[in-house]
Structure formats: structure tokens, C-alpha cells
Amino acid sequence: MKRSIIIAILVLSFITSCGVPLPLQKDLIVKDIKAVRQFATTNPVFDSYIKEFEQQGKVITGNSDFSTGDVPVNFGDTENDAFQGVCFQYPDGTKEVIIRKSWWDGANQDYRESLLFHELGHCSLDREHTDEVLVTSKERTYKASLMSSVIVGPNDYKDLRDEYLKELFLQKRDDLLTSLGLNFD
């Protein structure tokens, strides 16, 4: 069983990656002292996703003032061909999310939301990567968090969206474990 988990993690690490190189697990890409944020505002393509992120944050946390804050989201150079999205942090404390346009154009709605919510998890929630996997009794593996360094795929995200969002905003996995039949209290 342990061998299966290790193999699954290695295989998954070569698929879609966030903005963080494995095995370093650095969660924000901190820019050089002379760097400044590239964008002051968000590309309108991302507006509906950000509104949904904020709405989910309000509902799940119970905080009616929940907001992403000053974190613009735009298409641009992720500075590494393996990264589909990144959260850059600048020396002045500002942050921004950059998404690779060629990836975005080929991704479906669920995959886009999974990646963007993951990057906002870094930039707005200060979440770090967690690469734990959950293995069901049928040897099927699932990422234990939307904050996995390998983005949750569109099918798993669609099937377990509510559970992943609760984990993202509250850092609690109970609903995800129960949905996967892994809550053996």
C-alpha cells in the first residue's frame, strides 16, 4: 500500500504543476528586490471566477467581508514552462496571480476553476502546498487538498468540489474523507 502511494505521488508530480517546483515546495514565488508587480487590475476574463471564489469564501467561512484583496489575476509568463499558474509575491508585499494563456485556452471550466482557486489559495489565503494523497479501498487515489502542488483534475474537482472548497477555506477534510468512504470513526 505504501509503495502504491509513493508511486502515485511520483506519477502525479509529472502532470500539471502549480507555480511551485517539486521538491522545493516553495509556495509563493518571491520576486527579486527590484521587481514590481506587473498588473494593477485583473483581466476581466477572470472576474466571474474571482467573484465565485469570494462568494464561496463568504459562505464557507461565515465571514460576510471575505475578499481576495488586492490580488490581480492576469495572463502572462509563469517563468517556468511546467507551471500553468503562479502566485508571485513582490518585495513591497503585493501579490499577483499569473496564468499561462495557452493552458487556459485548452482547459475546461472545472480545470480553470481548480487552478485559479489553488493560486488564490496561495495569494489570498496564504495556504501552502500539501501533497498528501488519499487512497480508497479500491486503490483509487485522490489529492487530499486543492492545495496539492499538482492541480486537482477537472473530473475529481467536479465530483468533489464542495468538499475541496471546504478544505481550501477551512483546512478541514472531514467532508472529503466521508465522501470517499474514508471516515472510519
Q: Which cell goes with 34?
A: 527590484
Would residue 69 be called left, alpha or beta, if left means φ above 0 and alpha means ψ between -120 and 50 degrees? left
In this structure, which amino acid lies at residue 35?
A: A
The contacts of residue 23 (CB under 8 Å, 6+ apart) are none
Predicted TM-score (pTM) of the model is 0.84
pLDDT of residue 35: 87
Residues in the chain: 185
**pLDDT tens per residue across all 185 residues of the chain:** 444 443 333 333 333 445 433 333 345 687 878 888 999 999 999 999 999 999 999 999 999 999 999 999 999 999 988 899 999 999 899 999 999 999 999 999 999 999 999 999 999 999 999 999 999 999 999 999 999 999 999 999 999 999 999 999 999 999 999 999 997 65
pLDDT of residue 184: 61
User: Are the CB atoms for 130 and 144 separated by under 8 Å?
Assistant: yes
Rg value, the chain, Cα: 16
